[in-house]
Amino acid sequence: MQLGDVEQVHQIDQLSFSLPWPESAYRYELTQNVASASWVAEVTRPDGTPRVVGMVVVWLILDEVHIATIAVHPEHRGQRISQQLLTVVLRAALQRGARLATLEVRAGNEAAQALYRRFKFELVGRRPHYYHDNHEDALIMNVDLSQPSAYQEWLDSEQRLTSQDH
């Protein structure tokens, strides 16, 4: 992700979440938060210009990676973009020595939970009334990365299977 992507990223955030981050938060992540890493997924428009269709922001702190936000534009959901973004994030986390990946997800967001379970995330806790817009609980999910070779091998295998599905 680059500063020039922030407007499109913020639009995806607004379309995806009832509590979107402000644009300034993305600028902060890109320019001031040394623990932050972020990626976008792009497609090429008919005129040849790129369009951001997915994004993810993570925080790499010591030996953990926290997935702070991940979203795909509604027009591009169901195209495995979120899987590709998660794969990139988890590969980067492994390369940087992360031993654990963690995230929070709305208790009612079953599609996201299914995606995370596919990547071997497990439910480890609950934050009651975490989301202040509707007091929905947040589920805390983690995946153990302490065996990096085994998880990397699984990611490679999963990517091959996903490629064959097309």
| Residue pair 106/126 in contact by the 8 Å Cβ criterion | no
Q: Is 151 a catalytic residue?
A: no
CA distance 91 to 103: 16
Q: Is 110 a catalytic residue?
A: no
Of the residues 23, 104, 136, 158, only one is catalytic, namely: 104
CA distance 105 to 124: 12
Beta-strand (E) ranges in the chain? Answer: 36-44, 50-61, 64-72, 100-106, 122-131, 136-144
CA distance 81 to 83: 5
Of the residues 7, 23, 75, 116, only one is catalytic, namely: 116
Kindly give the interhelix angle for 148-165 and 81-95, rounded to the nearest 10 degrees: 160
Q: What is the dihedral of CA 44, 50, 56, 62, to 10 degrees?
A: 120
CA distance 65 to 148: 14
Name the residues annotated as catalytic.
104, 116
